[in-house]
Amino acid sequence: MRELRIDLGRICSNYLALKSAFGPAKVMAVVKANAYGHGMIEVATALDKAGVDVLGVADLDEAIALRLAGIDAPVMCWLLDQKDDLQSAVQQNIILGISTIQQLESVPREAAIHLKVDTGLGRNGFMPGQIPDVVKIIQARQLNVQGLLSHLANTSEAEDFAQQVVFDSVYSMLEAAGVKIEIRHLAASAGAISYPGMRYDMVRCGIVLYGLNPFEDRALEGLAVKPVMSAMAKIANLKLVPVGQGVSYGYRYKTDKPTQLALVPFGYAEGMPRISQGARVKIGQELFPVVGRIAMDQFVVDAGDAEISIGDEVIIFGDSARNEPTAEQLAESAGTVNYEVVTRIGGRANRVFLQA
Ligand SMILES: Cc1ncc(COP(=O)(O)O)c(C=O)c1O
């Protein structure tokens, strides 16, 4: 009745496209949050077979889940909880992004760590002023520091470059204190595309790996990536209604002529944004408007006098190259971003994986 189609061949070809665009920098494939809704284990397994440089997740539990699924590629996580068992990270050969003094003091000595520094985003990571204390602990405990990372705010070019200046100065401070850093990484998808000088030794790519545009204000150009996910459901009911028919809760829409309404069993329980307004979906070869409020289990399409039937496939989003609506367009209809649309998608929709 409803399905998310995940093209694992595209995951691998997108990854290779990123490698050739951003090399010689390594490319971390970011598979946190269930691979942005695409299915973490299946996506990571496909990338592992394709020889991914590193897989990136936020939580230690996600990293351990990758290992338990038999994935051998290097794995890094960077959002630790005080109660995380960091010894298990060592046992499972997981690289840790370290952001607090408490983590630095408790991480097992043999763990492979990357220091996370807050260069301006105001989220996780050490403030630059903490670096002298960080160095003291590293030296006293003889920790195994391999990398230095930070994350850009993508606010403006000037602000991104200001973050880079801070990043470089923290790197110099560490080097001057004798802390050797092998791998510097600052850029995620947007930064890796926009600023060749910020690719350093590695870039961390999430959204663009899934073939989606990291920018809200411009097209994604010059990268041979294609959308990996498409969301579909089959028409569950189809009926002729008169002019003036109210549609769904609150009658946000009333028909202005006799028409045909198609019921699509894909609701906000599946991640279709409830506030979406003005979205379009594809049935057959045509696009039709979604009308009225999205409900928990379903939404309604005004299909006019199109020749369609119960059971026909409705593409909710997919690939513009197939003339399908995009995750970006659905996001725009709900005042959000493609990241949120794909990451929240799911509910009762099955993921069907097209093998690489
Ligand atoms: C630290 C870090 N690096 C990289 C990424 C990947 O970002 P993007 O999906 O924009 O490539 C994220 C995602 O939010 C992140 O938190």
Return left, alpha or beta for 263; rule: phi > 0 is left, psi -120 to 50 is alpha, else beta: beta
Residue 170 in domain = yes
Q: What are phi and psi of 172, to 5 degrees?
A: -65, -40
In this predicted structure, the answer to whether residue 101 has a pLDDT above a threshold of 90 is yes
The DSSP symbol for 256 reads S
Taking the C-alpha atoms of residue 64 and residue 299, their distance in angstroms, rounded to an integer, is 38
Cα(43) to centroid of ligand 1, in Å? Answer: 16
Residue 157 in domain = yes
State the catalytic residue, choosing from 19, 26, 32, 226. 32
Q: DSSP states of 82-131 as a string? A: TT--HHHHHHTTEEEEE-SHHHHHHS-TTSEEEEEB-SSSSSSSB-GGGH
Taking the C-alpha atoms of residue 261 and residue 263, their distance in angstroms, rounded to an integer, is 7
Residue 179 in domain = yes
Same structural domain for residues 195 and 281? no
Same structural domain for residues 127 and 257? no
Same structural domain for residues 198 and 326? no
Q: Which pLDDT belongs to residue 134?
A: 98
Same structural domain for residues 185 and 291? no
Same structural domain for residues 132 and 34? yes
8 A C-beta contact, residue 267 and residue 261: no
8 A C-beta contact, residue 244 and residue 262: no
Same structural domain for residues 252 and 195? no
With bands split at pLDDT 50, 70 and 90, how would you rate the model's confidence at 63? very high
Taking the C-alpha atoms of residue 196 and residue 21, their distance in angstroms, rounded to an integer, is 10
Instruction: Judge whether 249 counts as a catalytic residue.
Output: yes
Cα(132) to centroid of ligand 1, in Å? Answer: 27
Q: Which of 210, 241, 266 is the last residue of a domain?
A: 210
Residue 295 in domain = yes
Q: Count of domains in the chain?
A: 2
Each residue's pLDDT tens digit, 17-52: 999 999 999 999 999 999 999 999 999 999 999 999
Same structural domain for residues 43 and 180? yes
Q: What are phi and psi of 133, to 5 degrees?
A: -65, -40
Cα(207) to centroid of ligand 1, in Å? Answer: 8
From 271, 322, 296, select the one nearest 4 (Cα to Cα). Answer: 271
With bands split at pLDDT 50, 70 and 90, how would you rate the model's confidence at 356? confident
Residue 84 in domain = yes
Cα–Cα distances (Å) from 276 to 3, 13, 342, in that order, read 20, 32, 14
Return left, alpha or beta for 33; rule: phi > 0 is left, psi -120 to 50 is alpha, else beta: left
Tell me the two tokens of residue 198. 């910020």
Cβ-in-10-Å burial (0-12, 13-18, 19+) of 304 comes to middle
Each residue's pLDDT tens digit, 108-154: 999 999 999 999 999 999 999 999 999 999 999 999 999 999 999 99
In this predicted structure, the answer to whether residue 244 has a pLDDT above a threshold of 90 is yes
Same structural domain for residues 253 and 201? no
Residue 168 in domain = yes
Name the closest-CA residue to atom 1, ligand 1. 151
In this predicted structure, the answer to whether residue 204 has a pLDDT above a threshold of 80 is yes
Each residue's pLDDT tens digit, 275-298: 999 999 999 999 999 999 999 999
Name the closest-CA residue to atom 13, ligand 1. 206
8 A C-beta contact, residue 10 and residue 226: yes
Q: Which of 151, 180, 210 is the last residue of a domain?
A: 210
Question: Which ligand 1 atom sits closest to the C-alpha of 204?
Answer: 4
Residue 220 in domain = no
CATH number for the domain spanning 58: value is 3.20.20.10
Taking the C-alpha atoms of residue 29 and residue 52, their distance in angstroms, rounded to an integer, is 7
CATH number for the domain spanning 237: value is 2.40.37.10
Q: Which pLDDT belongs to residue 180?
A: 96
Same structural domain for residues 82 and 120? yes
Same structural domain for residues 58 and 183? yes
What is the rounded average pLDDT for all residues in the chain? 97
Q: Which of 159, 182, 210 is the last residue of a domain?
A: 210
The pick from 15, 150, 151 for probing ligand 1's pocket by mutation, whose C-beta has the most ligand atoms within 8 angstroms, reads 151
Counting residues of the chain whose pLDDT is more than 70, the rounded percentage is 100
Cα(152) to centroid of ligand 1, in Å? Answer: 9
Residue-range definition of the domain harbouring residue 162: 8-210
271: enclosing H helix or E strand: none
Same structural domain for residues 174 and 267? no
State the catalytic residue, choosing from 49, 239, 249, 254. 249
Residue 153 in domain = yes
Same structural domain for residues 180 and 279? no
Each residue's pLDDT tens digit, 334-354: 999 999 999 999 999 999 999
Q: Which pLDDT belongs to residue 329?
A: 98
